[in-house]
A and B are shown apart, each in its own frame.
Chain A
Amino acid sequence: METITAIGFIFGLSVVLALVLAVANAKLKVFEDPRIDAVEEALPGANCGACGAAGCRSFADSVVKGEIEPSRCTVGGTATAEFIANYLGIDAGSAEKKVARLLCAGGSDVASQAAAYEGFSSCRSAAAVTGGPKGCAFGCIGLSDCEEVCGFGAIQMAPNGLPVVDVSKCTACGDCVTVCPKKLFEIMPLSRHLIVQCKSLLAGEEAEALCSVACTACGRCVADAPTGLLEMKNNLPALDIKKLDLQTSIATFRCPTSAIVWIEAQQFPELYDDL
């Protein structure tokens, strides 16, 4: 008899609880667009945050809501963007490929060393104690903070202590931009070929004494480039990105230190080939 009571009690209890759950399911239901799951599935799942969203799920949510274009996911590239755009029946948006460029060419072979740094091997740590061992206060320290932070294995240190960004692997997530204590990385469209590989605010002999590939602010590139493309600002030529169509390699011909260069796709091609 007791057995039957127990079974009956448990049965009754489960029926009551099942009813509560059924009601709750109906009343408290949160509708979630099933397309968010589908879009998230199509994304690379790197959760890198390069798009500006907190992660891939949050990006998918924004895409479905139409707040952000699918092409903003730089990691997935055009194929992913088109797939998502097709699926949602929207425009993929026209985002050209962007990559991180290093604005310093002062490897240990051309830049002067002011001191030997023997402390904790990290650019940030070296920059905090004495600005780094290099003579130039603006140049690359070369202790590979960017190589470590890159989640895509796109950065490799060359023998001369400069990080080389592999254009095919770089997703323009911007992690290297944030970690560099000297702020030497910049995200640029791949279509930009004219780049000043120097951030030294010094001019003339002062700059050249510290590094043989420094920009000396002589202004020849500005004079040779089409009007308005380049402008001398703080002893460095600044490119007007709106006039990018005008870019020409003529601007680099008379540069005495090769600080301004024309890059087809890969930056530091010789270093890249050796890696």
Chain B
Amino acid sequence: MSASAMIEKVKTFRHGIHPAEFKDYTKNLPIERIPFTNEYVLPLSQHLGGPSRAVVKPGDKVYRGQLIAEASGFVSATLHASVTGKVKAIESRNHPSGNLVKSIIIERDPYSPQTLHNERKIDWEKISPKEALREIQMGGFVGLGGAAFPTHVKLAVPPGKKARFFIINAAECEPYLTTDHRMMLEQADSMLLGIRISMKILGAEKAYIGIETNKPDAIEYLRQVIPSDMACEVAPVQTKYPQGAEKMLITAILKRDVPSGKLPIDAEVVVHNVGTLVGIGDLFKHGKPLIERVVTITGPGIHRPANLMIPLGMKLNQVLDYCGGLKENTRQLLFGGPMMGAPQSFLDVPIMKGTSGIVALTDKEVFPRKERACIRCSRCIDACPVFLNPSRLGSFARVKRYEEMMDFHLMDCIECASCSYVCPSSIPLVQRFRVAKGMLREKQARERAGKKS
């Protein structure tokens, strides 16, 4: 394909930013399986929604892939043992969110071969979409892109709505991360199976795999392996942040807008991440629930960057040890990418379902910045992918006039941090918006509680 034809085909959204990619650390490294360690910490709250309820007791023997916690409602997820061993305790442990969260601690049985409990093949063509959805729900699947929203909730189309299009989010727009890239190259068959099953459940007409053009090998490879009988098309999208935000990807590929305050299903679309679909594929191939995930361990602070298949619940310091430890000038450790990831203050926090990457940044990348006055350059306005006015919102937030920020559509902010990234005055815009949103949400909750009483 000539260069000009390629450019014509590339789809995108308006606004956004172009951070440096730093994907060279790991993009050519095949996924490795990390050796098992002795203790695993599985927090009961690894997803959006209600925390899971433990169904095992301390002292119980559990097998790899066995159910250890059930969902506490529809918007919740089940949890499975990621290793064969014994339940050591159910107690509060450090959680990547910074709180203490009730977790199931499993001690590995060193003599177990660690084979999968109840290995089976599920014939997806024979079972009904409802049964398939039930399997996914019982498999404990959540969005592996980072938000960890329960997958079965997204796949269950509410009555009266239609999911005509299915988008596979393979943009991976966060710098440094390469998990989706490697999975597409190495586990495409599982992903395609996952797509087929999801399309059957949704009744979708057509699937699009949205891949940023910085992964030409994945685009080319998938174009070769997608069978001709599948209504699935690779949609190259421009390398731009936040291309992988659900709403941006829908706008780029389908030229449809998700209305303010609504979900993609209101635009007849459902979006899933590559990792989630590979997981669904593996579930139907081997009966493997969500017990491990691919994590990119990368950044200038890591001695040996890698793409690792890590059982859930493995502790951060053990993963870092496997990668040769941290360099001395490491200043910040992030779960997730550098744009939206969460910095960690404890090294014993577990790898969770939503942990897409571990990025170690050094003194060169991270240093305190002094906030200066807004110079009205409007770079944040040109960057905001949801067309807000971050400068205006920022000045309201600075003086804590949160109510008025609602009039400027604060709640539509997707917290992508593009505004903070481009601000030449280092104004902590997105940080202030997150505080404002938190305060407003709490206020609404108080008002609701007040009305009830």
Contact = CB atoms under 8 A, between A and B. Distances in A.
Interface of A: 114-115, 118-120, 122, 124-125, 127-133, 137, 148-149, 178-179, 181, 201-202
A127 B97 CA distance: 9
A201 B98 CA distance: 14
Contact of B431 (A125, A132, A178, A181): A125
B428 A120 contact: yes
Interface in B88-105: 92, 94, 96-100
B92 A201 contact: yes
Contact of A132 (B98, B400, B428, B446): B98
A237 B432 CA distance: 36
Q: A-B pairs with the 5 shortest C-beta distances?
A: A131-B98, A115-B345, A120-B428, A120-B431, A114-B345
A130 B98 contact: yes
A201 B446 CA distance: 24
Contacts of B442: 178
A129 B428 contact: no
Nearest to B428: A120
B98 A149 contact: no
Contacts of A122: 431-432, 435
Contacts of B343: 115, 119, 129-130
Nearest to A118: B368
A178 B431 CA distance: 19
A111 to B, nearest CB: 13
16 contacts: A115-B345, A119-B428, A124-B435, A124-B439, A125-B428, A128-B438, A130-B96, A130-B342, A130-B345, A131-B97, A132-B345, A137-B100, A148-B400, A149-B400, A178-B446, A202-B100
B408 interface: no
B446 to A, nearest CB: 8
B346 interface: yes
B20 interface: no
B344 interface: yes
A123 to B, nearest CB: 9
Contacts of B366: 118
Given A118-B368, A129-B342, A130-B344, A137 B98 contact: yes
Interface string B331-354: 000000000001111100000000
A137 to B, nearest CB: 5
Nearest to A149: B400
Contact of A119 (B99, B100, B344, B431): B431
Contacts of A149: 400
B74 to A, nearest CB: 27
Contacts of B432: 120, 122, 125
Contacts of A178: 442, 446
B285 to A, nearest CB: 37
Among A118, A149, A178, the one with the most B-chain Cβ atoms within 10 Å of its Cβ is A118
B98 A129 contact: yes
A127 B99 CA distance: 9
Contacts, number: 61
Given A125-B432, A178-B442, 10 more contacts: A114-B346, A115-B345, A118-B367, A124-B439, A125-B431, A131-B99, A132-B98, A137-B99, A137-B100, A202-B92
A127 B428 contact: no
Nearest to B341: A129
B162 interface: no
Contacts of B438: 124, 128, 181
B303 interface: no
Contacts of A127: 98
B96, B98, B367 — which one has the most chain A CB atoms within 10 A of its CB? B98
B434 interface: yes
Contacts of A201: 92, 100
A77 B96 CA distance: 45
Contacts of A118: 366-368
Contacts of B345: 114-115, 130-133
A247 B225 CA distance: 76
Given A118-B366, A119-B428, A128 B99 contact: no
A128 B428 CA distance: 14
A128 B344 contact: no
A133 B344 CA distance: 9
Nearest to A115: B345
Nearest to A148: B400
Contacts of A202: 92, 100
A215 to B, nearest CB: 15
B400 A125 contact: no
B269 to A, nearest CB: 29
A207 to B, nearest CB: 11
A234 B346 CA distance: 24
Nearest to A179: B439
Contacts of B92: 201-202
Nearest to A138: B100
Contact of A125 (B97, B346, B435): B435
Contacts of A132: 98, 345
A120 B99 CA distance: 19
A76 B252 CA distance: 59
A137 B442 CA distance: 20
Contacts of A115: 343-346
A178 B438 CA distance: 11
Most A CB atoms within 10 A — which of B96, B97, B345, B368?
Answer: B345
A178 B92 CA distance: 26
A131 B346 CA distance: 10
Nearest to B367: A118
A217 to B, nearest CB: 14
Given A119-B428, A130-B343, A149-B400, A125 B434 contact: yes
Nearest to B346: A114
Contact of A128 (B96, B346, B434): B434
A122 B366 CA distance: 18
A147 to B, nearest CB: 13
A132 B97 CA distance: 10
Interface centre among A119, A129, A130 (most CB of B within 10 A): A130
